[in-house]
Every structure is written in structure tokens, then in C-alpha cells.
Amino acid sequence: MEDVLSRFLRYVKIDTQSEENGLHPSTQKQFDLARLLRDELAAMGAKDVWLDENYCYVYAAIPANLPAGKAAPTVALLAHMDTSNAVSGAGVKPRVITFTGEDVDLGGDGQHILSLRDFPFMERYIGQELVVTDGNTLLGADDKAGIAEIMVMAETLLTHPEIEHGKISVCFTPDEEVGSGVAKIDLDRLGADFGYTVDGGSLGGMEYENFNAASGLLTVTGRSIHPGSAKNTMKNALLIAMEFHALLPAEQNPMYTEGYEGFFHLCDMSGDVEKAELTYIIRDHDRDKFAAKKALFHSAAEYLNTKYGPGTCRAETRDSYYNMKETILPHMEIIDRAKEAMEELDITPVISPIRGGTDGAMLSHMGLPCPNLCTGGGNCHGRFEFAAVSEMRKIAELLVRIAEKHVR
């Protein structure tokens, strides 16, 4: 049976970056990994293996092997194939190191140093084998570590019939990083009662709460007048835009928030005297606070319209996804079984809110409760991304144990 490390090293070398362009899938190169995974699943004996050639979803099933008198729900395990477009994912050159706690010169040129000074949480990895980059690309542990772990789980169950389990539905998705990972998923084909995304961080991590999310756009229409004669007539759209931002709570900024604290994040701004645009993302775990943030975004624009004239500011918000907690709470046995599996493997469960979103959040609101599990990766979306080899192996083992725990 193939080790999770060799699978992971093979998958991360395939460029699968997604793009924000509204297409499904957003990039055709995601099919390169999808076709490989389809073929590997078929070769190991998985059933109902199918690649959606239109939308780039890979489906497969590990049939139940339960004796008479036992039953189990159908459990879905999902991971996404695409990687973030924040840093290049082309030409990934992974290497395995033993992390001693000393600085790691990723590229050998002094440009990208993996250091405990910058990442003090990595003290927990001293003495462990880590897969790292050469400093020129991201690694792709998000979420190819999850894919490798699910593949090892699948092969384990298929080659060890003595491990009793219900039906396991596997799905690998595109475009999670651009927010449309489950936009075209076929839930009937998946056929699951609930699922887990394997798309988290350090060993033991499990999440069933995430942000409520919206995008915000402020458009400011100004009036350009020669500055020499502009008194009482010019409306500088750039300055009005700055005034708008100053009306938002300064402390509700990603730089100053953690845990359950929400924020307004200014992502982009552009313009001139006549017109300016500011784009935001708005986040909060609490649905009422989320609504209040959106209301404040609009009321700030309305206030400036009373000051500078109707139509000066136009505020728009669009909801992106919601907190999965409200759909998970009626089904807490999903969390309980995963916690039990962790504890049986001497893994300490660490349950915390996600300060972002996952495919599972959207699936949960589509009727498939779907919390998130750890992968063993860290520093995602950047050149300092890594994956802990021992944690990936342990998580593959955890997925097998979770399959066992749902048998009744």
C-alpha cells in the first residue's frame, strides 16, 4: 500500500491553481490532477468512479462491508484539488527536511527564511519531518494533503476487509479557493447522509463553525473642478471614499481581530477625483452581528449622501456563505464520533471556529452537514507552506477510524 508521503509529493507537483473568472472549473489544468485521481481510484478497486468532464468533480465509493445486524450511514469525505492563486503553484519542488528549530533557508539564497521568529507556533514541529517548498511557490498542502490522506484511507479500507465500515463516498472538488468549490456538485451522486471536508491545519483540529461572509462594494461618484477654483464645488471621490472607511470601526480590522471577532477587510481601492471604488469582505460568526455590519456599511454610505448629495455613494453587499454551526448543531453525533476517533488514537481534539469558509460550510447549507477536519498542513497560501509527514500519516489513520466509529 502506498504511503501518504509519496502520494502527496506526486500531487503537489501538478499545477492546479484556480482563478476568479466565473468559469466552472476556473482553470482547465485542474483536470490534470482530477484524471490522475480518477485512474488511481479505479486501479485500487473503488466503485462508481466517475469524473465529471464538464465541471471537474471526481466521485468514487468505498462499498460497505457490514455483516447482518449492523448498519452505518453513508459518510462523504471531500477535499479540494485547486490551490490558491496568492502565490504561484507552477513548478512546485517539494523537499523533506527534519525541522530542528533552526532557520531554514528554503531556496538557499537567503531570500525566504522559515524561522521560529516569524512562525513561533512551529515549535511544536521541532524534530519532525516536514515537506517544504524551495521558496518560489506555495506547496499545495491546502488541500493536496487532504487528498493524499483520503486516498490512503480508501486504499486501506479496500485492502483490509476485516475493517468494518459503512459506505464511504469520496469527492474531490475544484475551485474551493475562489469560493465555488461545490457550485456544481451532484449531491445525488454523492449520496451521503453527512460528510467531512479534510481541509484544516494541525493534527487534532476540527471545526464546525465558520464566518458568515459577504462582499461589499462602495462606489463614489465625485465632481472634478480645477483645483484653483474648486471651493464649494469639487467633490473629491477619493477623499469621500477615505471618509467612508473612517466611519467603519477601526478595531474591526483583520489585523486586530481573532477567535469569534468579525471584521471589515478593505481588499482593494482604486479611482481618481471623479470616481472611486472600494471592495471589502465582511465577516462575523454571529448572524445578528453579521447583519449589523452590513447595515452599518449601507448606513455609512447613506450618511455621506446626506452630506455630499444623493447618489454620491452607492453601497452594495452580497452574501457569500453562512456559518455551518446552525446546520451542524442538530447532528452533533458527527462531531462526537470524530472526537472519539481522535481520542482512541491519542490525538487531542482541538475544536475552534474557522476564520474563513470551507466547501463544508456551503454543503451544510445545501442539506449535507459537513464539518472540517485537519490535514497536517500549515502556513497555507504562501511560500512558507509546509506539511508535517507524521501528522499526515496519523490523519489517514484517523479517517479509517472515523469510518469505523459510525458503525452501529
Q: Does residue 183 sit in the same domain as residue 236? A: no
Q: Does residue 115 sit in the same domain as residue 98? A: yes
Final residue of a structural domain among 263, 287, 320: 320
pLDDT, one tens digit per residue, over 103-119 is 999 999 999 999 999 99
Residues annotated as catalytic (active site), given as ranges: 82, 176
Q: Does residue 73 sit in the same domain as residue 202? A: yes
Instruction: Determine contact, residues 173/57, Cβ cutoff 8 Å.
Output: yes
Q: Does residue 263 sit in the same domain as residue 353? A: no
Instruction: Determine contact, residues 245/278, Cβ cutoff 8 Å.
Output: yes
Dist CA 264 CA 284 (whole Å): 9
Q: Return phi, psi of residue 116, to 5°.
A: -65, -25
Instruction: Determine contact, residues 194/405, Cβ cutoff 8 Å.
Output: no
pLDDT, one tens digit per residue, over 301-313 is 999 999 999 999 9
Residue 387 has pLDDT above 90, yes or no: yes
Q: Does residue 57 sit in the same domain as residue 153? A: yes
Dist CA 73 CA 71 (whole Å): 7
Grid cell, residue 113, equals: 527564511
Q: Return phi, psi of residue 240, to 5°.
A: -65, -40
Dist CA 401 CA 196 (whole Å): 13
Closest CA to 209 of 282, 142, 259: 259
**Sign, Cα dihedral of 129, 135, 136, 140:** positive
Q: Does residue 194 sit in the same domain as residue 313? A: no
Q: Does residue 15 sit in the same domain as residue 111? A: yes
Task: Determine the straight-line distance between the first and last CA of the chain, rounded to whole angstroms.
Answer: 28
Please state, for a pLDDT cut of 90, what percent of the chain lies above it: 97
Residue 357 has pLDDT above 90, yes or no: no
Average pLDDT over residues 241-251: 98
Q: Does residue 140 sit in the same domain as residue 38? A: yes
| Confidence (pLDDT) at 126 | 98
pLDDT, one tens digit per residue, over 78-98 is 999 999 999 999 999 999 999
* SS3 per residue for the chain: CCCHHHHHHHHHCCCCECCCCCCCCCCCCHHHHHHHHHHHHHHHCCEEEEECCCCCCEEEEECCCCCCCCCCCCEEEEEECCECCCCCCCCCCCEEEECCCCCEECCCCCCCEECCCCCHHHHHHCCCEEEECCCCCCCCHHHHHHHHHHHHHHHHHHHCCCCCCCCEEEEEECCHHHCCCCCCCCHHHHCCCEEEEECCCCCCEEECCECEEEEEEEEEECECCCHHHCCCCCECHHHHHHHHHHCCCCCCCHHHCCCCCCEEEEEEEEECCCEEEEEEEEEECCHHHHHHHHHHHHHHHHHHHHHHCCCCEEEEEEEEECCCHHHHHHHCHHHHHHHHHHHHCCCCCEECCECCCCHHHHHHHCCCCCCEECCCEECCCCCCCEEEHHHHHHHHHHHHHHHHHCCC
CATH number of the domain to which 186 belongs: 3.40.630.10
pLDDT, one tens digit per residue, over 185-239 is 999 999 999 999 999 999 999 999 999 999 999 999 999 999 999 999 999 999 9
Final residue of a structural domain among 289, 320, 351: 320
Residue 287 has pLDDT above 90, yes or no: yes
Q: Does residue 151 sit in the same domain as residue 260? A: no
pLDDT, one tens digit per residue, over 144-195 is 999 999 999 999 999 999 999 999 999 999 999 998 999 999 999 999 999 9
| Confidence (pLDDT) at 312 | 98
Instruction: Determine contact, residues 322/382, Cβ cutoff 8 Å.
Output: no
Closest CA to 89 of 134, 31, 123, 156: 134
pLDDT, one tens digit per residue, over 314-329 is 999 999 889 999 999 9
Instruction: Determine contact, residues 362/187, Cβ cutoff 8 Å.
Output: no
pLDDT, one tens digit per residue, over 117-128 is 999 999 999 999
Q: Domain of 203? A: 4-209+323-405
CATH number of the domain to which 301 belongs: 3.30.70.360
Q: Does residue 44 sit in the same domain as residue 157? A: yes
User: In sequence order, what are the beta bridge partners of 129?
Assistant: 98
Final residue of a structural domain among 320, 339, 358: 320
Instruction: Determine contact, residues 316/326, Cβ cutoff 8 Å.
Output: no
Q: Does residue 203 sit in the same domain as residue 90? A: yes
Q: Does residue 331 sit in the same domain as residue 363? A: yes
Closest CA to 65 of 170, 167, 192, 191: 167
Dist CA 364 CA 375 (whole Å): 20
Instruction: Name residue, grid cell 521568529.
Output: 117
Query: Using alpha carbons only, what angle is made at residue 241 by residues 236 and 247, rounded to the nearest 5 degrees?
Result: 130
Indicate the number of domains in the chain: 2
Instruction: Name residue, grid cell 471604488.
Output: 277
Please state, for a pLDDT cut of 70, what percent of the chain lies above it: 100
| Confidence (pLDDT) at 358 | 86
